[in-house]
Chains A and B, each alone.
Chain A
């Protein structure tokens, strides 16, 4: 199909996002920044940052990574943010306001949200599942590697296949109402959640809520760290794995955790030359199996190195890396230059906890989990009664844990909302799953760090009751 970018026709495939279609057509910069007027290109690709905001059919601040291409649409670059318009020219919304009373609202349709939705529906509960993207699956959509573990936890399947399997079961389930291209923008007094979608402005009143809002990429400070071509590793995975677009020709990957190692291997498969992986720590962060794979291809992993500067005319053309000492300070004279057009940041993820925190959930800083995360009980309820969390937004771990956590939260919600004989079945299943998660799954030394983090933010029912007295929740659900 054809759409127009600043008046010129661009060919795109149906099902692509506007940002990806423009990138594939060779447009590196999508906007100009607000005050320094710097070019900005793709960065997170999952609706978390603001780099891909453009004017679409006259509407500014449109997230083009979340906007599907449509025949004849008109897209323009914007400079900074849209200026306020005069009050008399404000167009009033023609969207209907729709109130939905439901058992459970799930914010985020990634692995945690999908597994929770199905479990809740199995118990006969009504679910509204909201996701910002135009398809369900969250970051499973870009996971092309096979999952480890047993078959009932999708071992041997690839992430996007797991998403396909869930989507098939969810779309045929009459109990689950899916709202795509929709954002839960806030929770308000009376336990009402505002959801903005293209068809309606929804006011959802749930008896319980699951915030499975995922994570965003950690940013890094180096010279010209916003130049187009500096992309989150996950963003690059979205471009190549979800949409089949080659993200560049020569890459430097920053960070040797699992994301950095896996993305390096996927870059090779996509025909991108990986010049090096740099790691600021003295040891490789990710699992041995992934590191061995990329070493076999002769990609150097430079330990105790970081990126100091990138440069280029409108897009990255060169990256300078430097060795660091024990205090992570650059060692002068150790600079190395790489001719690359891609610098991928894989320096960790941060939980996106904004929804739960806006609801008033008490949070604690956890370095192991990547940031400020809500305190929760073993069954994943926060200090706001009936508000649950699961998946990366409950602290960075991985997709299988997200699936398990989503199910635990769903079972706990079921114990409250279904009749007693079914409730005891839910409780039994939940207790079994909690034991499995903590005593079996997280017993793996590979998950030791996440386990330590999760221990530090999990509190007993009694401690949670005390927290609720000390920090009374401003909003109540149920």
Chain B
């Protein structure tokens, strides 16, 4: 399995959702020029690590490709709860009959 993986030459940007550098560049070529739109399109930062691994590397690549500053790229970046994974049952308690 690992040997095949190596041959593909994949560069991973988001480890949670398996978003690759290729996916990112294709989306930018397609005309996505807003980082928040890109995030929604590729589900970058939507996995259980909530973007802790991918947001900054993706923002840097996006800034370089679009000629924007990182401040601009991240201007509308929002963080929503839960900011870390929690068991679903914790929040389901309220519906117990």
Tell me the A residues contacting B by CB distance below 8 Å: 33-36, 38-40, 43-44, 48-51, 53, 59, 61, 63, 81, 90-93, 95, 97, 132, 183, 185-188, 194, 196, 201, 216, 218-227, 309, 311-315, 350, 352, 354-355, 357-358, 364-365, 367, 371-372
Q: How many B residues have CB within 8 A of the partner chain?
A: 47
| A34 and B1 alpha carbons, distance in the complex (Å) | 15
Distance in Å from the Cβ of B2 to the closest Cβ of chain A? Answer: 4
C-alpha gap A43/B84 in the complex (Å):
17
Contact call B83/A50, Cβ cutoff below 8 A: no
A210 to chain B, nearest CB (A): 16
- When distances are taken between beta carbons in the complex, the residues of chain B under 8 Å from A223 are 9-11
Q: Does B2 contact A36, Cβ atoms closer than 8 Å?
A: no
Q: Contact between A225 and B12 (Cβ–Cβ < 8 Å)?
A: yes
Known interface pairs A201-B90, A219-B56, A354-B50; 6 further A-B residue pairs with C-beta atoms within 8 A, sorted by A's residue number: A196-B87, A201-B93, A219-B15, A221-B57, A358-B81, A365-B74
**Is B16 positioned at the interface, with any CB of A under 8 Å from its CB?**
yes
Task: Please pick, from B2, B15, B78, B90, the residue contacting A50 in the complex, using a CB distance under 8 A.
Answer: B15
Please indicate which of the listed interface residues B3, B11, B79 has the most CB atoms of chain A within 10 Å of its own CB. B79
Q: Can you list the 8 inter-chain pairs with the closest CB atoms, starting with the nearest?
A: A186-B81, A314-B2, A311-B6, A185-B82, A365-B71, A313-B2, A358-B79, A357-B79
Residue of A nearest to B14 (CB): A219
Q: How far is the CA of A344 from the CA of B9 in the complex (A)?
A: 19
Considering the chains assembled together, what is the distance between the CA atoms of A187 and B81 in angstroms? 8
> Please, which residues of chain B bring their CB within 8 A of the CB of A201?
90, 93
Instruction: Tell me, in angstroms, the Cα distance from A63 to B21 when the chains sit together.
Output: 26
In the bound complex, CA of A371 to CA of B63 (Å): 13
Query: Whole-angstrom distance from the CB of A95 to the nearest CB of chain B?
Result: 7
Q: Are A39 and B48 in contact (CB under 8 A)?
A: no
Complex contacts, A59 vs chain B, CB 8 Å: 87
A309: nearest residue on chain B (CB-CB)? B9
Residue of B nearest to A39 (CB): B2
Q: How many angstroms from the CA of A39 to the CA of B1 in the assembled complex?
A: 8
Residues of B within 8 A of A49 (CB): 15, 49, 52-53
Q: How far is B19's CA from A206's CA once the two chains are assembled, in angstroms?
A: 39
Q: Which one of A33, A95, A314 lies within 8 Å of B18 (CB-CB)?
A: A33
Q: Which residues of A contact B37 (CB under 8 A)?
A: none
Q: Which single member of B1, B10, B57, B82 contacts A186 (CB below 8 Å)? A: B82
14 residue pairs A–B, Cβ–Cβ below 8 Å: A49-B49, A49-B52, A51-B15, A59-B87, A90-B88, A91-B89, A194-B86, A220-B57, A223-B10, A223-B11, A225-B11, A313-B3, A358-B80, A365-B70
Instruction: Report whether A39 and B83 are in contact in the complex, using a CB–CB cutoff of 8 Å.
Output: no
**Please, which residues of chain A bring their CB within 8 A of the CB of B77?**
357, 372
Chain A neighbourhood of B57, CB < 8 A: 218-221
- Complex contacts, B2 vs chain A, CB 8 Å: 39, 227, 312-315
Contact A93 to B89, CB < 8 A, known contacts A39-B1, A53-B48, A81-B47: yes
Say whether B92 faces chain A, with CB atoms less than 8 Å apart.
yes
A90-B53 contact, Cβ under 8 Å, with A34-B17, A311-B6, A365-B74: no
Q: Does B32 contact A (CB under 8 A)?
A: no
In Å, the complex CA distance between A65 and B2 comes to 23
CA distance A219 to B90 in the complex (A): 32
Q: In the complex, what residues of A have CB within 8 A of residue B28's CB?
A: none
Residue of B nearest to A359 (CB): B79
Q: Are A364 and B71 in touch, CB under 8 angstroms?
A: yes
* Nearest CB of A to B80, in Å: 7
Chain B residues within an 8 Å CB radius of A219: 13, 15, 53-54, 56-57
Cβ contact within 8 Å between A367 and B79: no
Known: A40-B15, A224-B6, A315-B2. A93 touches B87 (CB 8 A): yes
Q: Which residues of B contact A90 (CB under 8 A)?
A: 88-89, 92
Q: Which residues of A contact B78 (CB under 8 A)?
A: 357
**Once the chains bind, are B12 and A226 in contact (CB under 8 Å)?**
yes
Q: Does B30 contact A (CB under 8 A)?
A: no
Q: Tell me whether B85 is interfacial, beta carbon within 8 Å.
A: yes
Is B61 engaged at the interface, CB distance under 8 Å to the other chain? yes
User: Using Cβ atoms and an 8 Å threshold, which residues of chain A touch B49?
Assistant: 48-50
In the assembled complex, which residues on chain A have CB atoms less than 8 Å from the CB atom of B70?
365, 367
